[in-house]
């Protein structure tokens, strides 16, 4: 579904992504994990067209997309839910959600998909006339995910969806991600919460200072001593 070949990104003179390659197969969840500064967010931004890569090949469903503007990439079925939510706080919840469908023209399908989003996130239906800035942190994360889903993606990039949330809300977000995947949406998940990433993913890539240090099935990597020491406290 997605193939990233030799991705390199510079910020000024500094190479922050150093020639990484990975792929995502239709119907699966994969995760990118790593410490702060490892390059996870930059990688997603390069895939979705928000950050210009220095060099790479990025293929999505057989079409080369590196160099395309972000809105063209969204129209192909690849949506990005960014770190930090990036919702419009002074706009109503419903208007934030409808912005996710801005490129779509199928009004009946948009209305139908809005009800699907409310099924995932009932609190958004309850508060759809409120300003987005009045929502709690967890509700704002739900809104950001709902907005991305309103573009009707085939592949969803999720950047740190559990960041800053209370444990109960983290568990709820994890449950919703699983439901979204089961509905047929493929997912690339960036997470510092390694347990959540391993529980949700079929495969995991471990990034260290702009390079892929380890990759493999989540079951096998969860038992790797290096992973256990770095992400699970040695247990």
Query: 108 in a domain, yes or no?
Result: no
Provide the residue range defining the domain that includes 161: 2-85+153-231
Provide the domain count of the chain.
1
What's the mean pLDDT in 50-74? 94
pLDDT in tens, 3-17: 999 999 999 999 999
Q: At what angle do helices 107-120 and 167-182 cross, to 10 degrees?
A: 140
pLDDT in tens, 128-150: 999 999 999 889 999 999 999 99
Query: 183 in a domain, yes or no?
Result: yes
Query: 114 in a domain, yes or no?
Result: no
> Mean pLDDT, the chain, as a whole number?
92
Given a cut of 90, whether residue 224 has pLDDT beyond it is no
Query: 203 in a domain, yes or no?
Result: yes
Query: 122 in a domain, yes or no?
Result: no
Q: At what angle do helices 167-182 and 137-149 cross, to 10 degrees?
A: 10
Q: Contact 29/202 with Cβ under 8 angstroms?
A: yes
How many C-beta neighbours within 10 Å does residue 23 have? 14
Q: Which two three-digit tokens encode residue 82?
A: 């960014």
* Per-residue buried b or exposed e for 93-120, using 16+ beta carbons within 10 Å of the residue's own CB: bbebbbebbeeeeeeeebeebbeebbeb
Given a cut of 60, whether residue 107 has pLDDT beyond it is yes
Given a cut of 60, whether residue 235 has pLDDT beyond it is no
pLDDT in tens, 184-196: 999 999 988 888 9
Query: 111 in a domain, yes or no?
Result: no
Domain harbouring 221, CATH code: 3.40.50.300
């Amino acid at each position: 579904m997605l193939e990233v070949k030799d991705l390199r990104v510079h910020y000024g003179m500094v190479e922050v992504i150093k020639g990484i390659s990975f792929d995502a197969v239709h119907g699966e969840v994969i995760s990118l994990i790593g410490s702060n500064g490892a390059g996870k967010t930059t990688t997603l931004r390069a895939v979705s067209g928000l950050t210009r890569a220095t060099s790479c090949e990025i293929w999505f469903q057989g079409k080369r997309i590196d160099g395309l503007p972000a809105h063209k990439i969204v129209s192909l079925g690849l949506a990005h839910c960014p770190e930090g939510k990036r919702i419009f706080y002074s706009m109503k919840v419903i208007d934030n959600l409808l912005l996710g469908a801005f490129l779509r023209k199928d009004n009946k399908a948009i209305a139908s998909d809005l009800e699907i989003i409310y099924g995932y996130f009932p609190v958004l239906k309850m508060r759809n006339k409120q300003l987005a800035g009045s929502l709690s942190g967890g509700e704002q994360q739900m809104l950001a995910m709902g907005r991305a889903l309103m573009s009707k993606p085939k592949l969803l990039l999720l950047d740190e969806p559990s960041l800053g949330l209370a444990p109960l809300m983290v568990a709820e977000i994890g449950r919703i991600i699983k439901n979204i995947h089961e509905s047929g949406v493929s997912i690339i998940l960036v997470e510092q919460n390694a347990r959540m990433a391993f529980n949700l993913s079929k495969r995991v890539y471990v990034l260290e200072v702009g390079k892929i240090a380890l990759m493999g099935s989540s079951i096998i990597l969860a038992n790797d001593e290096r992973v256990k020491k770095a992400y699970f406290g040695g247990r």
